[in-house]
């Protein structure tokens, strides 16, 4: 957040944090009149869902690697 000044280069999580914390909707739409149509709560909820769903979709496929890593770290030599 500090080093990247260009909004187009910021990662998705940084942009979503700005939307949730600061409620900065200017990055989401080009027309300022459309911002008034969205409520604060619905925008925050949608942002959280957009951030969570990809993780929930990918995690079952890579879960075995997490379990293997935990087992490997738990064994005392």
In whole angstroms, how far apart are CA 59 and each of 40, 56, 71? Answer: 29, 6, 18
Residue range 15-40: mean pLDDT, rounded: 68
pTM for the whole structure: 0.49
Instruction: Classify residue 39 as left (phi > 0), alpha (psi -120 to 50) or beta.
Output: beta
Give mean pLDDT, residues 44-68.
Answer: 86
pLDDT at residue 58 greater than cutoff 80: yes
- Average the pLDDT over 45-67 and give the result: 86
């Amino acid at each position: 957040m500090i080093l990247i000044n260009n909004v187009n280069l910021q990662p998705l999580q940084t942009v979503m944090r700005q939307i949730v914390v600061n409620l900065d909707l200017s990055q989401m739409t080009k027309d300022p009149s459309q911002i008034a149509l969205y409520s604060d709560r619905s925008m925050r909820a949608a942002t959280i869902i957009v951030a969570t769903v990809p993780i929930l979709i990918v995690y079952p496929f890579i879960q075995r690697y997490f379990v293997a890593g935990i087992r490997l770290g738990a064994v005392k030599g």
